[in-house]
Amino acid sequence: MQYFIILILVLAGYAHADDNDIVLGVHSNTAPLEWRANGVDQGFNIELMNRIGQVLGKSIVVRRKSFQQLIDDTQTMDSDIDMIAVVTPINVRRTLSQSDPIYATYAKAYTRQNDDFIENWSDLDGKRVAIKRGSFVDVYLANKPQHFKIVPVDLYETGFQLLGEGLVDVVLAENFVARRLQPDYPQVRSASDPLIFGTYTFVSQRHKIKLMHQVNLALRQLKLSGEYDKLINKWFGTGREKVDISSTQQKMLTWAIIVAIVSIIGMLFTALVSRNLRIRSNALALELQQRKQAEQQILNLSDQFQAVLDGIPHGVTIFNQQMTCLWSNDAQQLFKLDNFVFVNQHPFDIQKTVQQVLDSQQSFIAEMQYDTQFWQIQIHPIAEQQAVVLLEDNTEQHALRQANDQASRLASLGELSAGIAHEINNPTGIIIHSISLFSQSITDLQAAAESYQQQNPFWQIAGLAPQTAFEELNHSAQVVEDSAKRISRIVNDLKRYALPNTNTYHQLADINEVVQVALRLTANQLKRFQVNVTLHPTPLMIKADVQQLHQVLINLIQNAVHACHDATDTIEIATITDTNKVYIKITDTGSGMDNATVARITEPFFTTRRNEGGSGLGLSVSSRILKEHHAHMQVQSSLGQGSCFTLSFARKCSESNMPKSAQRCHSSTFGNP
């Protein structure tokens, strides 16, 4: 009640203080906002302003000018225009006096029919974009750097014309205007979701803030009374597209007369035909009912038969002698594809094979291959010169056979590696023993050489001065001894890795030593990449079967190598610890894996390197070994960014001085781990 008393007092004061007319500047011809029909100004904004005038006790005078003239009038103190209705971006407030929001709208992109859609602002980069001068789109983009070329136009319709002529690529237009223009420009289409949201508001000159205050009070009163909602429902109600009412009424009247005439003719014709149809319909109804019952019985029987055939786990196809497919539950029919071949890669001709089976009346069975899958095909002759083709997926059985063969080869390779390691150790021991003798001999001969040089100052050894020669001999002997010891160490590592391990034997082991052995065994594969090794400065003891952990680390290192394809790729191996756990992290910057692949990497026989000889057993076996050690493997991977495998083990010792977090003790390009 207090609000309405204040409103009445304010309105009364305004009625005596100002002129009795409010001049509304109008520029649009867009229903349902503002337009003229049969010389009468109409539209939502005009009717809303008239209702505001009634509340204020003032008359509303409509004056039409160009949009630019109206914009200029709001900047001119002596203008004959009191206010105009314009759209303002929702996050931008104009500098002029502005009313409460009237109605929401938006702008979006419009392109030619065959042009690409505009998903976001970046899709406009480099394009020629038509924008109406002074529009809310123009206001929104003011002082904002853009990566497209703005083509200013006086009207949205001018922008549509330029778009049709190919002089611009995109028009950013307000929704209501574009809806009216599109029927006249069939080559133009809506090409984006709303890009800019705005609201219609009344705008006046700065010195008319008192008038705008009164308009806002009247507008709020209309909203509270429900008058505003009635206007919204009238002009923007659901299902009512607002167009030019006069032309629409004339068209509707014409069509109504045509429809009425057609309806009368149709009624007469229908009455004539319906009598004959009624008699015929009664006769057909009984026949139709009987046929439906028979069809339903046949359909039920067919569905039952088809369900049985579709439930067969193998592909079944029946051909006649002319190779016509009589029935099949195999939608793909792989045997008709060119890359469906025998396992020896010989081409397969289904038509020729079926004809041979029919001629000989003998069954045909063969092992086939399609890409990375393996199949067994059977072709059997049946009655009336027909043949049935059975196709069974045999990929898993084939993989099992390959895995068994590979396991046998690996077992043989292990025994052979142990034997070779023993044979290499014998000459290596001889080299180390001989080098020790050579080093002692060089030391003893050095004094004699010095004495002889005094007698023959020009005496040389292998073209070098005696002192230099002895230094080179000592250095060479040391290099040969170090190299022989390295060969012995690598051979011993290989021998331990290859020994049969039928019984799991867990003992205390230093995880740093396990990593170093695995690095020595994979040194030849790692030498092509940048490898950084970071080992904890103190021993990290766990309870484990060392040989099995060697196998796990070698598998992970080899996988990292296979994921890297460029010499700039990096492989990082680190050992770290906390209070209760010991960790090994193997990180690469290779090709990485998607989530679906990560979820399946420990499945037996699952591999992404089938064509390159991968068996799909490495991570499966590694996972089993880690479970036996009560250890865990965590995998983080992204396509194109690489992978990180983290192995965690329970710590079996606790040194009081050991740091709780990882410390870098060795980091270098991999050479001698």
Do 234 and 376 reside in the same domain of the chain? Answer: no
CA distance 41 to 35: 6
CATH number of the domain bearing residue 185? 3.40.190.10
Is the pLDDT confidence value at 14 over 50? no
Q: Higher-confidence residue: 170 or 318?
A: 170
Do 336 and 481 reside in the same domain of the chain? Answer: no
How far is residue 279 CA from its own chain's centroid?
Answer: 64
Assigned domain for 125 exists:
yes
Binned at pLDDT 50, 70 and 90, residue 163 comes out as: very high
Do 517 and 631 reside in the same domain of the chain? Answer: yes
The pLDDT, as a whole number, for residue 241 is 44
Assigned domain for 268 exists:
yes
Do 93 and 209 reside in the same domain of the chain? Answer: yes
For residue 74, what are the CA distances in angstroms to 30, 61, 203? 21, 16, 8
The pLDDT, as a whole number, for residue 642 is 92
Assigned domain for 660 exists:
no
CA distance 619 to 561: 14
Do 87 and 220 reside in the same domain of the chain? Answer: yes
For residue 272, what are the CA distances in angstroms to 39, 258, 284, 285? 50, 22, 19, 21
pLDDT in tens, 365-393: 988 888 878 888 889 998 778 888 888 88
- What is the extent of the structural domain holding 175? 105-197
The pLDDT, as a whole number, for residue 7 is 39
Assigned domain for 572 exists:
yes
Assigned domain for 398 exists:
no
Is the pLDDT confidence value at 246 over 70? no
Assigned domain for 662 exists:
no
CA distance 417 to 409: 12
Binned at pLDDT 50, 70 and 90, residue 304 comes out as: confident
Number of folded domains that form the chain = 6
CA distance 157 to 24: 23
Q: Which amino acid is residue 429, in one-letter code?
A: G
Pick from 190-194, 437-441, 516-520: least confident? 437-441
Do 540 and 560 reside in the same domain of the chain? Answer: yes
CA distance 662 to 581: 12
Do 295 and 225 reside in the same domain of the chain? Answer: no
Chosen domain end from 393, 427, 446: 393
> What integer best gives the mean pLDDT of the chain?
81
CATH number of the domain bearing residue 599? 3.30.565.10
Assigned domain for 279 exists:
yes
DSSP 145-200: --SSEEEEESSHHHHHHHHHTTS-SEEEEEHHHHHHHGGG-TTEEE-SS--EEEEE
Binned at pLDDT 50, 70 and 90, residue 649 comes out as: very high
Do 458 and 517 reside in the same domain of the chain? Answer: no
Do 191 and 211 reside in the same domain of the chain? Answer: no
Do 527 and 633 reside in the same domain of the chain? Answer: yes
Q: Which residues make Cβ contacts (< 8 Å) with residue 95, sequence separation at least 6?
A: 206
Is 0.75 topped by the overall pTM?
A: no
Do 160 and 115 reside in the same domain of the chain? Answer: yes
pLDDT in tens, 529-577: 999 999 999 999 999 888 889 889 988 998 899 889 888 889 999 999 9
The pLDDT, as a whole number, for residue 40 is 87
Assigned domain for 663 exists:
no
